[in-house]
């Protein structure tokens, strides 16, 4: 299981570094999205909110890559994954594959460091 977790962590690192840096440098060409997904992405870029999203992806990718503060990287990238999944579920369901893959990898890595999250899953009286 340790090898699987390490591979999942590196895959998450590659995924979020590639797509995070692409948000800043645009080296992967993307055609304009029609309809509601295009309006949503247009609003993210017009408001410069994309800087936060892609910045979190890059920071988390670096943390996954170096293997330090993996629980912090999981916490940081969790809301981004929820946003990715919600975007694809509600606006672009045909391209949900990478989001589902990233979520599965997230859970694999989470399982390997679950002891770090024990305190938040303990019921308090």
- Proportion of the chain above pLDDT 70, given as a percent: 100
Give per-residue pLDDT as tens, 49-107.
Answer: 999 999 999 999 999 999 999 999 999 999 999 999 999 999 999 999 999 999 999 99
Could you tell me the pLDDT band of residue 115, with boundaries at 50, 70 and 90?
very high
Contacts of 99-108 with C-beta under 8 Å, sequence gap 24+, read 101/15, 102/12, 102/15, 102/16, 105/8, 105/9, 105/11, 105/12, 105/15, 106/12, 106/74, 106/77, 106/78, 106/81, 108/4, 108/5, 108/8
Lowest mean pLDDT among 22-26, 63-67, 117-121: 117-121
Assess whether pLDDT exceeds 90 at residue 108: yes
Model pLDDT, residue 1:
81
Model pLDDT, residue 122:
84
């Amino acid at each position: 299981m340790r090898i699987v977790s390490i591979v999942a962590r590196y895959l998450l690192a590659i995924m979020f570094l590639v797509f995070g840096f692409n948000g800043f440098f645009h080296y992967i060409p993307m055609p304009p999205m029609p309809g509601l997904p295009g309006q949503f992405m247009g609003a993210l870029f017009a408001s410069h909110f994309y800087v936060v999203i892609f910045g979190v992806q890059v920071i988390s990718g670096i943390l996954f890559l170096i293997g330090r503060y993996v629980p912090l990287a999981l916490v940081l990238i969790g809301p981004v994954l929820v946003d990715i999944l919600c975007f694809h579920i509600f606006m672009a369901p045909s391209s949900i594959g990478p989001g589902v893959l990233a979520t599965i990898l997230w859970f694999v890595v989470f399982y390997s460091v679950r002891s770090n999250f024990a305190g938040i899953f303990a019921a308090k009286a």
